[in-house]
Amino acid sequence: MKLSLARISLIAFLMLEFVLSASILAAYQTTVTRQYTPPNSDSETLAVKARVLELSESLRSMAAHIASHPKTLGSLTTDSEAERSAHIANIRSFFPDAQVKLQPLSSENASMSAAAYASSVVHARLFEETAKVTGAASGHLTLTTTLPVTDHTNTLRGFVIIDKDFPELGRILKTIPGNDAYVELQQTGSGGIYAVLAQHGNETLKIASPKTILDLPNTAWRLAVWPAPTSGLLQNYVLAWLSASMLIALIIGAFYFVLRRTLHNDLRAILTLFTDIRHNRLRKDYAVRLKETKQIFNMMYELGKLMIGKQKRVASDATLDHLSQVNNRRSFEAKQQELFKTLAQGWVHSLLILDIDNFKQVNDTFGHDAGDALIVQFGKILKDNLRSSDFIARLGGDEFCVIFPNTPLKRAAELESRLRSNMPRQIELASGVPHRLSWSGGLSEYNRKDTKENQALSRADAALLEAKQAGRSRTSLRAAA
């Protein structure tokens, strides 16, 4: 059976479904054994935390307001007890339900600075010393906070100490439904022992370590929560399994469709590459997305470049003269046929035939190798001194032809004159064998009245004969009748 993306996706889904089912079953069995849900963080518990923090923050805000008052700093730095008492009385008039004390810094309590900073959290004063041991606190809770007072140089000058009764602290915990959890408000004591400040709920739930510990920042307290056993446990796990299965199915399905579309895109790019190779061309970029496909595609692209290069070389060899490396007669005829079709549209083209003077004498005197060298150099000279748009061809022997596209006869005569003036007067056929270079030419133009493609060539050939009869090393012109 052949693999497909659909089969692979189905196998992946079944494997993930097996792992999910095993995980859900293991979690369910573990929960049933322990009979408790994961740590409780329901809205009621979080609301209790927020209200307790609100109480502590109000006390810290009161202390911070007093500590920042300029008279507070003055009262701590003055030696007048009367002035300090007057300021404290003034403060208490604004906060009648709180006990405020100002503790100036002295040599006896200078060492308290670090401890004072640490004790600046809000905490409850336990009026029964046994509460630290037994874990039972008095129902009457007084909250205390201590804040340092510094001067403009950030030097510690004393402390603001505030005591305030908060009888409602114990009542806050009762907002949690009694059957849902057992909650304790605990305060850290010496030796890491926690005293219970307030409690609410069914204490029989306290059979193990707290499921949830909620720290209360800037206080010495924490909330310990023991949740009640979960009801409808099986239904919850079945619902979780169904939800997770649907999510896996959606993810696998999306992955399948995206991968299928990406593969189709890459296969289209490969097909486009093969089509381009057939037409001897390559694009700069192909839309291949997958890295794995890209590696194979790059190999095919390089092979395509080699094939196209080879085909172009073969095509070039078929159209180029192997000796002079200019176009051959076949290419000349194709070009002439192409330009002849444009004459009816009003285009004008010119034609120059060149014949190397005394070429036979070179062959007879120095041999055919020297004659070949003369052909090679003459072709190179033509390419170096003509426009890139001009079409150069060797018709045979020492006869060359230049087509000037979109060029009237008068302009072609100027180009011929420039070519003749730029040509070297002498070339070297071989080491120590100089040769005076000269050539004769016949110039004509294609005319829209011509009925045959070779009529312009015939006129240029007749003009070349005139140049030779007139003494060579010159160019004759012959316009259309």
Task: Say what the pLDDT of residue 422 is.
Answer: 92
Judged against a pLDDT cut of 80, whether residue 392 lies above it is answered with yes
Question: Which whole-number Å values give the CA distances from 73 to 103, 114, 120, 439, in the listed order?
Answer: 11, 19, 18, 114
Task: Say what the pLDDT of residue 229 is.
Answer: 60
Token pair listed for 43: 């809205």
Judged against a pLDDT cut of 80, whether residue 38 lies above it is answered with no
Task: Say what the pLDDT of residue 34 is.
Answer: 57
- Beta-carbon contacts of 141 under 8 Å, excluding residues fewer than 6 positions away, are 124, 125, 165, 166, 167, 169, 170, 197, 198
Task: Say what the pLDDT of residue 32 is.
Answer: 55
At 121-152, the pLDDT tens digits run 777 765 444 344 444 444 456 788 888 888 88
207/223: higher pLDDT: 223
Claim: this prediction has a pTM higher than 0.75: no
What band does 78 get if pLDDT is binned at 50, 70 and 90?
confident
214/478: higher pLDDT: 478
Judged against a pLDDT cut of 50, whether residue 390 lies above it is answered with yes
136/343: higher pLDDT: 343
Task: Say what the pLDDT of residue 130 is.
Answer: 39
Name the amino acid, one letter, at 191.
G
Judged against a pLDDT cut of 50, whether residue 40 lies above it is answered with no
Task: Say what the pLDDT of residue 421 is.
Answer: 92
Task: Compute the average pLDDT of residues 275-296.
Answer: 82
Expressed in percent and rounded to 5, the helix, strand and coil fractions of the chain are 50, 20, 30
Task: Say what the pLDDT of residue 97 is.
Answer: 75
Euclidean distance between CA atoms 355 and 336, whole angstroms: 19
Beta bridge partners of 101: 161
Least trusted range by pLDDT, from 111-120, 129-138, 148-157: 129-138
What percentage of the chain has pLDDT greater than the value 90? 25
Beta bridge partners of 428: 434
Beta bridge partners of 221: 187
Task: Say what the pLDDT of residue 232 is.
Answer: 62
Least trusted range by pLDDT, from 3-12, 309-318, 330-339: 309-318
- Give me the long-range contacts of 39-43 (CB less than 8 A, separation at least 24): 39/211, 39/212, 39/225, 39/227, 40/181, 40/211, 40/212, 40/225, 40/227, 41/212, 41/214, 42/180
Question: Which whole-number Å values give the CA distances from 247 to 7, 16, 25, 208, 240, in the listed order?
Answer: 19, 11, 18, 36, 11
417/2: higher pLDDT: 417
Distance of CA 401 to the CA centre of its chain: 58
Count the Cβ atoms, other than its own, within 10 Å of residue 332.
Answer: 23
The candidate with the shortest Cα–Cα distance to 144, out of 62, 36, 226, 38, is 62
